Amino acid sequence: MNGGPATAGGSIVLTKDLINARLMGDRVQPGFISVADDSLLSLAARMIGIYNAGNGITRGEIDEMMAPIVASCRNLRLGNGLRKTLEDRAEYVSAAQEDLAARRREVFLASARELRSGSHGDEASYGEAVRRAVSLPEDGLYSDLPENEKLVGIGDMTPRQLLERYNCALVQGLLLYSRQLELELPDVRPSQLRRLMRALRFNRLVADVVAKDKSAKDGDEPMTVKMLVDGPGSVLSNARSYGLQLALFFPHVCLLPKWRLRAKVELRGRWRNLVLDESCALVFNGRMTGAYVPEEVELFSKRIVEKLQGTQWHLVDECPYIKCKGGMFIFPDYAFMNDSGEYCYLELFHRWHSTQISARLETLDNGAQWPLIIGVDNSIAQRPELEEQLASSAYFQQNGFTYRDYPLPDKVAKLLTQRR
């Protein structure tokens, strides 16, 4: 009986040992490759050809066929990086659901019994006796091991697309070790910015967003925006998990026509500057991690709509941003509107957002007139320094709540309906 998919492509990030990069003092420059280089296109085509060789090929067989191709590369790090980029797109299926470890134990015990019996004159007789004692699975006793997982496919990919995906994965790999991500987005439209912020929220990231043009107009007129996202180097716990979210967010930046990125990256015991812009011509052709709605988000949206039935409030499909004094923007997680056309927003702060929630509450307690409901994950709400601030914050006591993993619609509905 076939099992479910063992792996699914999409999250391609190169590990530190596979990253080609030049270190120049306090700077780091990714070793981008030419996506039009004939020799690299030929190499990419040979690698893709292995995965397209036929149905039912196993992971172990792919490893055997790929090994000489990678070994032929003068730059082994590049060869292994391309291999990893392609492998991360692959989807495999495990051959069996049954407990083959227990079945193997039965075979070993039966083998021991037959050997002790001393009644077999040759190997063929001995093997036949074991097979009679224990029925063997059609796919064999070891079909549950990783090397025996069977390839489902890698999706459509051309050699050029593999090289493009590798270049993007280089940057993502560096961002795993970053301290802070700073983006400048010239001529970005509010609609583009909203899409970028949806991807940011999907990856449970929070950014300070400020328009450099303080007189930015409403509508969809272009403006220049600066974004500051704290990286994993600023977080004492969950650093690698946070870095992965930051890396998975980066491809959404590549979709913008103009962008400039600065980041601090820790390599070989030093913090180094990574500076990139749209001139790198990076192209992301994988699956966007923000392209689907997580199950918990769909469930929350469905349940909050049910809870708000019969009240003056309803959930808004497209969540607007809040434009504040000084050109600052707030992009909440959810927006609600009442029968009078007034908005109220829900902003959630997850386990690595302690710095942002502290600053947000300080501003609200000092009189900022933002119609916000604040939700704080228990993992940071219980930290002594923040627990004290939450308890002493008049705004949070009236307009906030704590939650575990994801907010309860009941709490949000209660805070909405009691608003004046």
Contacts of 240 (CB under 8 A, 6+ apart): 176, 232
- Residue 66 has a pLDDT of 94
Query: Do residues 48 and 86 touch, judged by C-beta distance below 8 A?
Result: yes
Domains 176-280 and 295-417 agree in fold:
no
Sign, CA dihedral 386-346-363-371, equals negative
- Residue 139 has a pLDDT of 59
Per-residue confidence of the chain (420 residues) as pLDDT tens digits?
334 333 334 456 788 899 999 999 899 999 999 999 999 999 999 999 999 887 678 888 999 999 999 999 999 999 999 999 999 888 887 765 556 666 667 767 767 776 777 777 677 777 777 676 776 665 566 555 667 788 888 888 999 999 999 999 999 999 988 877 899 999 898 888 888 988 887 777 878 888 876 555 556 688 899 998 865 545 544 556 677 888 889 999 998 999 999 999 988 888 999 999 999 999 887 666 544 556 777 888 999 999 999 999 999 987 777 888 777 888 888 999 999 999 999 998 887 677 778 888 999 999 888 999 999 999 889 988 899 999 999 999 999 999 988 888 999 999 999 886
Would you give the distance in Å from CA 95 to the centre of its chain?
A: 27
- Residue 199 has a pLDDT of 86
Spell out the domain ranges in the chain: 5-95+144-150+157-162, 100-133, 176-280, 295-417
Q: How many residues can be counted in the chain?
A: 420
How far apart CA 244 and CA 235 sit, in angstroms, is 13
Q: Which residue in 28, 35, 40 sits closest to 79, CA to CA? A: 40
As a CATH number, domain 176-280 is: 3.30.70.260
- Residue 121 has a pLDDT of 65
Query: Do residues 222 and 188 touch, judged by C-beta distance below 8 A?
Result: yes
- Residue 10 has a pLDDT of 44
pTM for this structure?
0.74
- Residue 116 has a pLDDT of 76
Q: Which residue in 387, 391, 389, 357 sits closest to 375, CA to CA? A: 357
Which CATH architecture fits 295-417?
Answer: Alpha-Beta Complex (3.90)
Tokens of 275: 């500076």
